[in-house]
Amino acid sequence: MALTTIDDNTALVLIDLQNGIMSAPATPHSAADVLARSVELAEVFREHGAPVVLVRVSRAPNGIDWVPGRTEQGGRTSNGTPPQGWDQIVDDLAGHAGDIVVTKRNWGAFYGTDLDLQLRRRGVTQIVLGGVATSIGVDSTARAAFEHGYHVTLATDAMSDLDADAHRHSVEKIFPRLGETGTTAEIVELFVKTRS
């Protein structure tokens, strides 16, 4: 589906672009490419006074705030203390006073955070979504945004995954059911056009 519109009250929401996650291998887009496109989107949104939300995942040192439950891959258990600064937003995106920073403890950015409140206070009706990992944090957040009644636009080249098949499945099978997809260039062009 082609992009049709960008609402007047649209926010950019970027998932887990933080030190510890951006240092992991990514596919099909490199972490550097995802970051460059995310920075481009953030700069355009800031320039036009639209909200930029930077979501990071973190946890207490003892892991007590992680979601409980058993998994076959053991992804919910604490495996020691993460490196210092692993949960900090990468420098290329951090440090803008007007940005909203949301800290999550789960895959998705809505559950257990004030993201919905922050967006609704600003009258946001649509989100443009990017980040890492496509099939985990981005997918979970897209589903919740759809369930919360937001129009969802997914910047498919401003996201990546640990697994190319998982990325492809989300982009081709899941995201078209939740919103509209497009490249960073297409989103920027439509965003700027609607504000001219």
**Strand order across the 100-104 sheet:** 100-104, 52-57, 10-15, 126-132, 151-160, 180-182
Structure-model confidence comparison of residues 196 and 80, the more confident one: 196
Give pLDDT, residue 73.
Answer: 66
pLDDT by residue (tens digit) across 79-105?
A: 567 788 889 999 999 999 999 999 999
Give pLDDT, residue 71.
Answer: 65
Residue 117 in domain: yes
Compute the distance between CA of residue 16 and CA of residue 22 in angstroms, rounded to an integer.
8
Give pLDDT, residue 78.
Answer: 52
pLDDT by residue (tens digit) across 151-168?
A: 999 999 999 999 999 999
Residue 103 in domain: yes
pLDDT by residue (tens digit) across 47-91?
A: 999 999 999 999 766 665 666 666 676 654 455 677 888 899 999
Residue 139 in domain: yes
Residue 51 in domain: yes
Give pLDDT, residue 196.
Answer: 83
- Quickly tell me which residue has 């490196």 as its tokens: 83
CATH number of the domain bearing residue 124? 3.40.50.850
Range of the domain at 58: 10-194
Residue 160 in domain: yes
Residue 16 in domain: yes
Residue 5 in domain: no
Output the CA–CA distances (angstroms, integers) from residue 142 to 9, 13, 50, 133, 136, in the order listed.
Answer: 17, 10, 19, 12, 10
pLDDT by residue (tens digit) across 12-59?
A: 999 999 999 999 999 999 999 999 999 999 999 999 999 999 999 997
> pTM of the predicted model, to two decimals?
0.93
Compute the distance between CA of residue 108 and CA of residue 146 in angstroms, rounded to an integer.
12
- Quickly tell me which residue has 């203390």 as its tokens: 81
The total number of structural domains that make up the chain: 1
Residue 119 in domain: yes
